[in-house]
Structure 1
Amino acid sequence: MKKQKSIVVGLSVLSSLSLILGACGATSNGDGETANTNNAAVTNNATNAGSSATGKYDPAITVHAVRPVESNVTFDSGDSINKNIWTDEFTNSLGINMVYDWTTVKNDDYVNKLNVSIASGEKMADIYQVNASQLQLLADAGQLADLTDVFNKFASPLTKKLMNGDGGKGMNSATFDGKLLAIPQIGGTITSNDVLWIRTDWLKNVGLSEPKTIDDLVKIATAFTNQDPDKNGKKDTVGLGITQGPALTNGGVADLGGLFAGFKAYPDRWIKDQSGQAVFGSIQPEVKQALGKLQEMYKSGLIDREWAVKDSDKFGEDVLTNKVGMWFGANWNSMYPIDITKNKDLLQVKPFSIASVDGQQPVVQVVDPSVNNYFVVNKDFEHPEAIVKLLNDFQEKLWGETSDFEKYGTNASQSVSYFKYPLVQSWPTTKDIPDNLDAVRGALSSSDASKLNSEQNGIYASIKAFNDGDIVKGYATARQYDAFDVIKRDDLSNQQFSLFYGAPTPTMVEKKQALDKMEQEAFTKIIMGAAPIAEFDNFVANWKKLGGDQITQEVNDWITAHH
C-alpha cells in the first residue's frame, strides 16, 4: 500500500562512497582472487537459459540478493522469505534459486547497511534494490551491468508494455548515457492522489454536507470540534487530523497534500512558472496562503494540539477511539488507519473530493512520477538476464494470461500478501484506475464476473460481500474502490506530473537533506503559531541562498536534456 520512501544519502556518505568506488579498479571476489571491474558483464554465458523470455535454466542457477523485508510481511504457516510460493515458482519455472544473503526489517536500515557494503568495497550481491541516490553513485562508478540488450531480448511483450505504461518516465530515469542500468519499480500514478475522508454520521449529527470550498472545510472542522459530533456529551474531538512531519505531499495518512492542492499549492513538486521554467513548489506564494489557513485552524483548536508528535499509528488510535472524523489521505486509508473490526461506527467513514479555496472542481493534484526503488545487477554477475526473467514471471503471474492472483497476489481472506515476496517487481500504472475499477464496477452492475481476472474476482467478491451485509469482510475494499471512483472522476483526465523525476542532482545530494529539514521546521512552527506567517518569506530566501537556486538550475538543465 503505502510507499516507503528511502532516505536521501547525505553528502559525507556519498562523497566517501564516490571516492572509494572511483578509486576501485578491481575488487576481491571473496576467495583471494581479484576480478577486473572494468569488464562488462557477460551476456552470452546464459546458453542454458534458452533464447525466450520464459526459458528455464538447466542446470539451475543461484541468485544471491539482499533486501528489506518489513515487519508487515506475513507468511503462511511454515513459509519464510527464503521458502514460499514465489521461491518455489522461480525454482520450478525458471530454474532460479533465490538466496538472500541478508535482510533488514526497516527500509532505512537497509539503505544504511547497503551504503556500508558499498563503502567497504565488499563483493556486492548479484541482484539488489537501490534508491535513486545509490543508483546514480553506482552508475557513475561503473559498478552495474548494462541491461539494455538483455531487456530487449528477454523481456516478454507484457513486461515491455507494462514497463512503458508511464510513458517511459521510469525506464528513462534508469538510463544513463543510453544504457539501461536498472529495472525501475514503477507503480500507479494518480492512484496515490488524496481524497478527503469524513465521518458521514458526524456530518449528519452537526447538520452539514460534504465540503466544496476551504471555507466549508473549516466550517465542518469547527462543528466537529465544538458540537459534540459523536454525541458522547464530551468535548473530546478535533476537526481536522494531521500527522507529524507534516507530510506535505499526497498519498499518506492524514497528510497535507490534499489541502495544499486545494490552494493550488504543490510542496515538494517541480511545477512550471509563467515563463515555462521549472520551480520548486514549496517556495511558491500559494503555499504561504495554505499555511496561513492551517495556522488559523490550529489557533482555533480545530487541529490536534499534539499533532507534531503523532505518527500514523498514534493518529490511528484517535480514529479508532472517535477523536477525529476528517482527514486527507490515500485510497488505502480504509485499510489503515481505519480498522472496522475494532470500531463498527467507522463504517460511516467515506471518501470525498478535495475542497478548493475558490470552490472550483475538480482540484488538480500533482503526481510525482519519480521512482523510489530500482533493481540492479552486479556487473560481474554471469547472468544479468535473470533479472528480466524474474520480472517477466512476476508480471505474468499477477496480470498475464496465466495470472492467479489468489495464489500469487493476496489470499482469499486478504490476510497474506504474497506479492510482497519477490524482490524484482514493477506494477502497471493503470492497474487500479481505471482497469480494475472499471472491470469490477461493470461486473457488479451486471452481476456477471465471468470476464474478470483472478485479482478482480477477489475484489468483486469483497465488495459484493459488503453490499450483502458482510461489513468486516468487505468494508476496506469497498471504501477503497469508492475512493478510486472519486480519484477517477476528479483526476483521470486532469493528470499533472512533477517535472523532475531523475536521480538526485549533485546539489540535491549535497544539500537537500538540510533544505528539507529547514522546510519541515519552518512549516511546523508556522502552523503551530510559534512563528508568524512572515517566516515563510525568510524560509524562501534561505532555501534559495543555501542551495535551492543551484538545485533549480540543475533541475532545469535535466529537463532540457531529457525532453
Structure 2
Amino acid sequence: MKNKKRLLAFGLAFSMAFSLGGCKVKNSENEKSKHWGELKAENAESSDSERITGNTNSTVSDATSDDNGKADSDNSWEKASTTAYGKYPELVTYTLGQLNGANNSNLPEGNTYEDNAYTRYLKEILNVQNQSIYMEREDRYNDYVNVLVNDHTLPDVLVVCDRETLYNLVENDLIEDLTEVYANCTSPRIKAMYNSYGSQLLGAGTFDGKLMALPEAVIDHGPCLLWLRKDWMEQLGLEEPESFEEAMDIIQAFQENRMGAEEGEEPVGLVCDTNLVSVTSQNYSVEPVFEKFYAYPRRWIKDENGEIVYGSLTKETKSALAYLRELYKRGILDENFALRAQNNLRDLVVEGKCGAFFGLWWTPNNPLMEEIENDPEADWEPYYLTADYQEKNNVYTSFSDNKYVVVRKGYEHPEIIMKIVSVLFDYSRFEDKENADEINSYFGLNVDPTARPLVINVDYNEAIYNVTKDIRRVIAGTQKESNLSALEKSYYSACIKYLSGEDVTAEDWAAYKSRISAVGVLVDGNYKPLQRQYLEESDGEVPNILASLEKNAFIQLIMGEQPMDYFDTFVQEWYAQGGQELTEKIREENS
C-alpha cells in the first residue's frame, strides 16, 4: 500500500516512554452515512449548549458566585480530561459505530446496546453515554466501515477490524493522535497490561511515532483442545484418552456405534473446517494434528537455516496431511468436511449430531452452552493432547486480524476511549468493591463482548491462566475468596454453583467447563504462552489465488483424490504463481 512503510513504525521509543481497499456501495448506504454526519453535527451543537453556564436573569450580585461556579466547573472539566477516572461535570455523549453480536449479544432481557450494565456503569463513573448511530453484525461490519472511511464520515468513536482500513484512516488524516491522552488518561494497570505483550502491541497502532489507534490486547487463547462427548464415552464404557491415537479410536467408536445419528442418517465424525487451520482463533480447525508434526500451515515461520518460509510448504505439513488422509480413510474425519459451511459445523454440534471437534478453552460458552440448553443430559470434556508438541519460538504472527479503537479527527474528547478502557478493564474489576456487581455478573451470564461500547478486550497476556489458578486455590481452600478480583468472583460463584449440583444453569456449566476444565488442563499440561515474533512491515497476507491453490490441494490430498507426491507439485506451483516474490518481499522487510 502506498506510504505504508513510511507510516508504520513499531514504536519502541513510544512504548518505553509509557512503561481498504475501496468497496462498491449503493446509494442507500451513502445516504445512511450522510445521516450519521447530520447526527454528529446535532450532537456537537447540543453538547455545546449543555456546557453553557450561568443564568441570563442573574443580577450583578450573583457575579462572584457565578465566577466561582465557573472556576469549579473548569477545574472539573480539566480533571476529567486529564485523568483515568475523573468524572465529567456534565453528560458527554459520543457517537459510536457498534459491532453487534448474535442474539442481542446474550444481553439480559430489556437491555440494549445503549442501556446495559456497561453503559450504566460508565455513566455512573464517568458520566458518558454512547449513541450507536451505526450498528452492524460482524460478517458485514468491515464493509460498512469502508463506507464511512470512503465518505470521510466517521462517528466520534469507531472500532476498526483490519489494518488496511487503519492505514487509510491515518493516511487521510481522519483520526486523532492519541499519544497524549494515553499518557494522561490510561490507568497504570492498563499500561502494565499492554506492556505484558512487549513493545510491539502498542507499536501496531503507532505511526511516525504517534499513537493513532488503541490496539486490542488479545490475550493468549492457548492451543486447541479436543472436545469429546463425555456422556457418549460413558454409554460405550470407554476410558478417557491419554494419547492422540486413543482419542482417534474413541471417535471411531462413536462412528461404529452411530452415536448422534438417527435412522437413515450417516454418523458424523471429527468435524473440520475446510480451511483446516485458523489464524483467527476459531473452533473446528484440526490445528492440533499439524502441531503433532510441528507443522504451521498458513503462517510464516523461520526454518532451521534461519530463513523465513511459508509454513504450508514444509515437509512437516506434508506429514500432517498424510496423517489426516489416514484419518479420513478410517472414517474418523467427517467424510463430508469438504462440503460443510461454518454455520453448518455449529449446527452439527448444537443439534447433538457430532461428538468430537477441536476448539479453544472458551468453547463451552459458544457453541456448547446452546447444546446443553437443548439437551441437559449432554456433557463434554476437553483433552490437551499436544502438550508434548508445544509450539516453538520460530512462528511469526501479525496484527492483521486485530481490532483497533480510533477517534474521529476533531472530536472534543479523544481521551474518552482511554477512560472507558481504564474503567471497564481495571477499575470495575480490581478497584470498585461496591458498585460493580452488575457489570461483573455479565461474565457469569455469558454476555458476549460485543455488548460493550468498545468491542475489544484488554488484559494481561496470561490472564486466563492466572484467573483459573486463583479460582482453583479458593476451591481448594488455600486462598480466601475475598482476594479474588471482581471478574474472578463472578466465575467462582458460577463454578461453586455447578459443583453443588443445585439449580445448575447452562451458564454455570459453561463457566466451570471453560475456566476449570479447559484452562485447567492447559495449566496442568504446563502450557506457557510464547513471546511471539511479529512481522514488522507486512502482515504476510497471502493473495487469494495462492490461498485457493493451497486449500484445494490440501482437500484433494486428504480425500485421496491426489497422491501424496502431489504435495511437491503444489509447492512448485505456489512459488511459480507469485509465492516466490511474496516470500522474498517478506524476507526483505523482516531482515
TM-score normalised to structure 1 length: 0.81
Q: What is the rounded CA distance, in whole Å, between the counterparts of 2:293 and 2:436 in structure 1?
A: 40
Choose the corresponding residue for 2:523, options 477, 488, 492: 488
1:455 maps to a residue whose letter is L
Instruction: Please name the residue that 2:209 is paired with.
Output: 178
CA distance in 2, matches of 1:62, 1:322: 46
Give matches, 1:247-286, under 5 Å: 247-249=277-279, 251-286=281-316
Who is 1:225 aligned against? 255
Establish whether residue 84 from structure 1 lines up as the match of residue 116 from structure 2: yes
Given the alignment, which residue of 544, 552, 555 partners 1:521?
552
Q: Which residue of 2 aligns with 1:102?
A: 134
Aligned partner of 2:510: which letter? Answer: A
Instruction: Name the CA distance, whole Å, in 1 between partners of 2:538 and 2:451.
Output: 25
Once the two structures are TM-superposed, the CA of residue 283 in structure 1 deviates from its matched residue by 1.9
Distance in 1 between the 2:523 and 2:588 partners?
33
Q: 1:49 to 1:550 in 2, by over 3 A?
A: farther
1:540 aligns with 2:571: yes
Deviation per residue, 1:399-454 (Å, 9 max, x gap): 33116664114448616457732226432134643221111000000084222222
CA contact (8 A) 1:246 1:308 kept: no
**Counterpart amino acid of 1:517?**
S
Deviation, structure 1 residue 277: 2.8
Find the counterpart in structure 1 of residue 6 from structure 2: none
SS at 1:336's partner residue?
helix
CA contact (8 A) 1:250 1:329 kept: no
Q: Is the 8 A contact 1:158 1:395 kept in 2?
A: no
CA–CA separation in structure 2 for the residues paired with 1:374 and 1:47 = 27
Q: How does 1:371-520 map to 2 (within 5 A)?
A: 372-402=402-432, 406-411=437-442, 414=445, 416-417=447-448, 420-423=451-454, 425-430=456-461, 432-446=463-477, 448-470=480-502, 471-473=504-506, 474-480=508-514, 481-490=516-525, 492-493=527-528, 495=530, 497=532, 499-500=534-535, 504=539, 508=541, 512-520=543-551
Separation in structure 2 between the aligned mates of residue 312 and residue 491 of structure 1, nearest angstrom? 31
Greater Cα offset, 172-181 or 136-145: 136-145
- CA separation of 1:547 and 1:487: change in aligned 2, threshold 3 A: farther
Structure 1 counterpart of 2:3: none
Corresponding residue of 2:97: 66
CA-CA distance at 1:312 after TM superposition: 4.8
Distance change (3 Å), C-alpha of 1:234 and 1:210: farther
Could you tell me how far apart the structure 1 residues matched to 2:574 and 2:306 are? 21
Pick the structure with greater CA Rg. Answer: 2
CA-CA distance at 1:141 after TM superposition? 3.0
Larger helix share, 1 or 2: 2
- Residues 249 and 257 of structure 1 are in contact (CA less than 8 Å); yes or no, is this contact kept in structure 2? no
Pairs within 5 Å for 1:544-559: 544-559=575-590
Is 1:186–1:426's contact at 8 Å kept on the other side of the alignment? yes
- State the secondary structure of the residue aligned to 2:431: coil
Moved more, 535-544 or 148-157: 535-544
Letter in 2 for 1:533: M
C-alpha distance 332-444 of structure 1, shift in aligned 2 (>3 A): same
Once the two structures are TM-superposed, the CA of residue 547 in structure 1 deviates from its matched residue by: 3.4
Matched, 1:153 2:188: no
Q: Tell me by how many angstroms 1:555 deviates.
A: 3.3
Structure-2 separation of matches of 1:351 and 1:369 = 28
What amino acid is aligned across from residue 294 of structure 2 in structure 1? K
Give the secondary structure class of the aligned counterpart of 2:362: helix
Q: Retained in 2: the 8 A contact 1:163–1:186? A: yes
Alignment of 1:182-221 (within 5 A): 182-189=213-220, 191-203=221-233, 205=236, 207=238, 209-213=240-244, 215-221=245-251
Instruction: Indicate the SS of the match to 2:363.
Output: helix
Query: 1:182: how far off?
Result: 0.5
Among candidates 108, 120, 139, match of residue 170 of structure 2: 139
Deviation at 1:99, TM superposition (A): 1.8
Q: Does 1:363 align with 2:390?
A: yes
Deviation track 1:230-279 (CA, whole Å, cap 9, x = no partner) reads 89999953442223444445842221112211121112222221122332
Q: TM-score, normalised by structure 2?
A: 0.77
- Whether 2:357 is the aligned partner of 1:327: answer yes
The answer to whether the Cα contact below 8 Å between 1:263 and 1:290 also exists between their aligned partners in 2 is yes
Give, in angstroms, the shift of residue 491 of structure 1. 5.3
Tell me the equivalent position of 1:318.
348
| C-alpha separation in 2, matches of 1:410 and 1:313 | 29
Q: Look up the match of 1:129.
A: 159
Residue in structure 2 matching 1:113, options 140, 144, 151: 144
**Secondary structure of residue in 1 paired with 2:146:** helix
The residue aligned with 1:17 is: none
Q: Structure 1 residues 233 and 163, CA, compared in 2 at 3 Å: closer, same or farther?
A: same
**Cα distance in 1 for residues equivalent to 2:171 and 2:443:** 45
Q: Does the 8 Å CA contact 2:421/2:458 hold for their aligned counterparts?
A: no
Structure 1 alignment gaps of length 5 or more: 1-9, 15-26, 32-45
- 1:203, CA displacement in angstroms? 4.3
Aligned 8 A contact 2:23 2:147 in 1:
no
1:50 shift after superposition: 4.5
Distance 1:183 1:85, change over 3 A: same
Query: Quick one: distance in 1 between partners of 2:258 and 2:570?
Result: 38
- Mean Cα displacement is larger for which, 139-148 or 255-264? 139-148
Secondary structure in 1 matching 2:378: helix
Q: Which amino acid aligns with 2:307?
A: Q
Q: What do the CA deviations read for 1:50-80 (whole angstroms, capped 9, x no partner)? A: 4322223334433222121122313344432
Aligned to 2:195, which of 152, 155, 164? 164
Pick closer, same or farther for the CA change 1:154–1:411 going to 2, 3 Å.
closer
Specify whether residues 312 and 482 from structure 1 end up closer, same or farther in structure 2 by C-alpha distance, changes over 3 A only.
farther
2:229–2:381 CA contact under 8 A, matched in 1 = yes
Range 459-468 or range 517-526, more displaced: 517-526
CA contact (8 A) 2:178 2:213 kept: yes
In the other structure, the counterpart of 1:288 is 318
1:322 deviation in Å?
4.8
| Cα offset, 1:285, TM superposition | 1.9
Letter in 1 for 2:146: N
- In 2, are the aligned partners of 1:194 and 1:257 still within 8 Å (CA)? yes
Unaligned runs of 5+ in 2: 1-19, 25-36, 42-76
- The 3 A distance-change label for structure 1 pair 382 and 550 is farther
* Backbone CA RMSD of aligned residues: 3.4
Residues 350 and 85 of structure 1: CA distance in aligned 2, closer, same or farther (over 3 Å): closer
CA separation of 1:174 and 1:466: change in aligned 2, threshold 3 A = same
Q: Percent identity?
A: 24
Moved more, 174-183 or 521-530: 521-530
Deviation of 1:482 (Å): 1.1
How far, CA to CA, are the matches of 2:125 and 2:231 in structure 1? 52
- What number of residue pairs does the alignment pair up? 513
Report the counterpart of residue 4 of structure 1 in structure 2: none
